Amino acid sequence: MGLNYNKIFNIPARSLNEVKITKAFFLSSFDLTTTDKNVLNYEIQSMNWLASIKPANANISAEVNDMYNYEEIQVMVCTLKGLGLQQFGDKCVQLFQKYIPYPILLIIEDEDNFMINTCDKRINQNDTTKRTIEKLISTPILTKLYKDDLVSALFDGLNFTALDKTNLETVYKSYIKAIVNYQTALVTGATLVRNHTRTEDDMQMLEQINKLDKEVIRLTNQIKKESQFNTKLNLNIEIQKHRKEIESIKNKLGQE
């Protein structure tokens, strides 16, 4: 099922490219790992360079310093074969964000679903032509078949008219904020207006919840293997402690 992503992003026509990205581009331009080559050659159906937002075509100033380079924002779409998003989506994100040095608003899709990704990546201090990934910020997998109120709010936040266009850094951080707001809304059940500082706080709290959830799963699996009653009891106490902490963080996320 095809989806016109610029109906979501509403990027002005002067910034649109609609150019196909060939697999040969990746193979000839970068020193890919074996895993990256396998994903590129066998799992990706097509790649499209949807838009390039830059000062010359968007009338938005660049922002460059020793740590970050926001001279251009690229918007790219990667289409996987069949229903491969669940299995190969994260690997495709790594393929694009690891090798292409620009800030990328990235869409990974398959026949029925898609996800939207951004990335906090800094200039590599040993080689300024390369970037170091600090954090990947993605939506969960979304269906192409329908959208609920939370997804509608996500799309509103990604609309070009809603972005902070002070410079290209604030534009890109607006995309990040829209995704983080959606992640937060999935936890709290409501979309709340956030400033940049609060968005950073929300990201940290979401990461804490994710780590605690993984620890609960680990401890639960450990209980299943444990035969000693006292050990099981102590593990259960730890699980309850983590669950209370998760609820406390969720309450903080829900606050204005």
Domain range list for the chain: 6-149, 198-253
Strands 142-143 and 113-123: antiparallel
Residue ranges with strand state E in the chain: 16-20, 44-53, 63-64, 69-70, 73-80, 104-109, 113-123, 131-138, 142-143
pLDDT digits (tens, 9 = 90+) for 53-69: 999 999 999 999 999 99
Question: Once rounded to an integer, what is the mean pLDDT over residues 70-93?
Answer: 96
| pLDDT of 127 above 90 | no
3-state secondary structure 14-36: HHEEEEECCHHHHHHHCCCCHHH
Q: What is the pLDDT of residue 18?
A: 84
Count the residues in the chain: 256
pLDDT at 177: 94
**pLDDT: which is higher, 11 or 247:** 11
Query: Which residues are paired to 47 by β-bridges?
Result: 78
Looking at residue 63, its pLDDT comes to: 95
Please check the confidence at residue 23 and state whether its pLDDT lies above 80.
yes
Q: What is the mean pLDDT of residues 19-46?
A: 95
- Say whether pLDDT at 70 is over 90: yes
CA distances from 23 to 27, 42, 97 (A): 6, 11, 15
d(CA 249, CA 68): 31
Residue 172 to residues 53, 131, 214, Cα–Cα distance (Å): 10, 16, 29
What are the structure tokens assigned to 162, written together?
């809603």
Distance between CA atoms of residues 112 and 107, nearest Å:
13
- pLDDT, average across residues 2-10: 92
pTM listed for this prediction: 0.86
Q: Measured between alpha carbons, how far is 230 from 114 in angstroms, rounded to an integer?
A: 46
- pLDDT given at position 133: 93
* Per-residue pLDDT, 227: 87
Report d(CA 250, CA 79) in Å as an integer. Answer: 34
pLDDT score at 1: 63
Q: What is the mean pLDDT of the chain?
A: 92
**Dihedral pair phi/psi, residue 196, rounded to 5°:** -65, -45
pLDDT digits (tens, 9 = 90+) for 188-210: 887 777 777 778 888 888 888 88
Ramachandran class of 108: left when φ > 0, alpha when ψ lies in -120 to 50, beta otherwise: beta
78, two tokens = 């990667």
